[in-house]
Amino acid sequence: MNITLTTLSPEAGDLIIPVLQSDSLADQLAHLAPTLGVSAEVLQRDFKADAKEVLAVYGQNGQKIYLLGLGKDPQEMDWLRTFRKFFFDQKSKLPATLAIDLTTLEGSVVAGVVLGVRGGGYDLKLYQTDKPETPVFYTAAGALALQVNPDQQTVAQEALTRAEAIANTQLQMLDLMNAPANYKKPQTLADWAVASGNQFGYSVTVLDKAELERQKLGALLSVSQGSDVPPVLIIAEYKPEGVENPRKVGLVGKGVTFDTGGVSIKTSSNMHLMKSDMGGAAAVLGTVEVAAKLKLPIHVIGIVPSTENSTDGRSTKPGDVVTAYSGKTIEIIDTDAEGRVILADGLGYMVRNYQPDVLIDLATLTGSVIATLGYHAAGLFTPNDDLAAMLTKAANQTGERLWRLPVWDAYTEDIKSDVADIKNYSGKPVAGAISAAKFLEVFSEKHPAWAHLDIAGMAFSDTEFGSQKNATGFGIRLLIAYLQLILAGKE
């Protein structure tokens, strides 16, 4: 499906008119009534412009017109979700040609619209053998015209370019996250990164098990011991051409392709959802690809330690002590707190080999953060107020919300070990997300601009795509917005 901008009224196809719920709604509907061939009184009675409300009518020339409610003061995430649900619900009924009238709106809304339209075509039926045919609108024959005000065309084009770059990458990440463990191994993530780097012009290095052993990434290796599937460390580096001394941002993402909990095994009720435990990796790999697509003038390094956390006679046991890449020793109290263990090596490798100006890690790390924030925000942990402010601003722009939680030194007591430098789990039923952040802070090696994002409640959630929780692609839009804020600050 091809998306284009136009300043002309569409000549054919169905038409969508998004409507804001404002004080002037009655006047808007009265203005639309003649075009729709419906009295103003009927429109005002039957359509309130509530978020995701749809009213379909046939115009005077037989054209099908959809009024799509957006509620009050919609932000980018509201535009995205409204259009995604509309297109997901209606896609089998849509013709090949369609238009959306955005002439009365700011050009910036194009980003949320396009992300919603592209997302609405997502198919979760990855391995079903009796899948229906792809709706014609979502085939190569499909065409969407976004009608914008001429004064907004430049802003709209920038928003369209950004949204298209993000949307395609995000859909690939949804497929990776939704894939089961027998279709998705650490090498699968590495292969994706290599192919992406070749296509979009950034470098990718993959450290295999032998190289991990040679370079002594003992924390990552310890988690992988119980699996027949070898671990990898993926290093994806986008460096802009012709930019002198660009800011360097290091991103580290947890890439556990399946998590049984190891010897500290999880209960069976939701273990099948642990194919999602590479949400941090998806955010990092996706962000590097989008940065390269958009040719952002910023240096981005993504590191993904990736492994399965399985269990057999070789598995790391509670009480074992392992040595991380940094040389620090870790007492393993709980093998189900494996994400922070592999991130220890990811962070250490980033700091010692790349010295980024900013260091951010993302992980589906703790159930504790879900107990604290539910499924509406990720936890943000950083001692740096300026970094917290910029990440929060980016989160508010995209709607991928963050809420800052403390990393006070008082919590350091929770990760002290009697026999090693540090332990991976406090053993307490409280402040689990915070103690995990304090653990990771150690391996940031006192980096002055480090932040940890615990995205456990956000990377896999309830959506219209399926009856069980499935991937959201959380973090890519947030991180791209953050990178653009850095660039705006340099101008």
413 carries a ligand binding annotation: no
Find where tokens 């955005």 sit: 102
338 carries a ligand binding annotation: yes
336 carries a ligand binding annotation: yes
277 carries a ligand binding annotation: yes
- How far is 365 from 90, CA to CA, in rounded Å? 36
Identity at 304, one-letter amino acid code: V
Instruction: Classify 173 as helix, strand or coil.
Output: helix
Q: Are strands 203-207 and 232-238 parallel, antiparallel or unpaired?
A: antiparallel
Burial state string for 471-484 with b = 16 or more CB within 10 A and e = fewer than 16: bbbbbbbbbbbbbb
23 carries a ligand binding annotation: no
- How far is 143 from 166, CA to CA, in rounded Å? 19
Instruction: Classify 227 as helix, strand or coil.
Output: coil
If you ran DSSP here, which 8-state letter would residue 418 be given? S
Instruction: Classify 367 as helix, strand or coil.
Output: helix
Q: Which residues are catalytic?
A: 266, 340
117 touches 87 (CB < 8 A): yes
H-helix or E-strand spanning residue 315: none
69 touches 50 (CB < 8 A): yes
| Torsion over CA: 367, 371, 376, 379 (sign) | negative
Residue ranges of the annotated binding site for Mn(2+) are 254, 259, 277, 336, 338
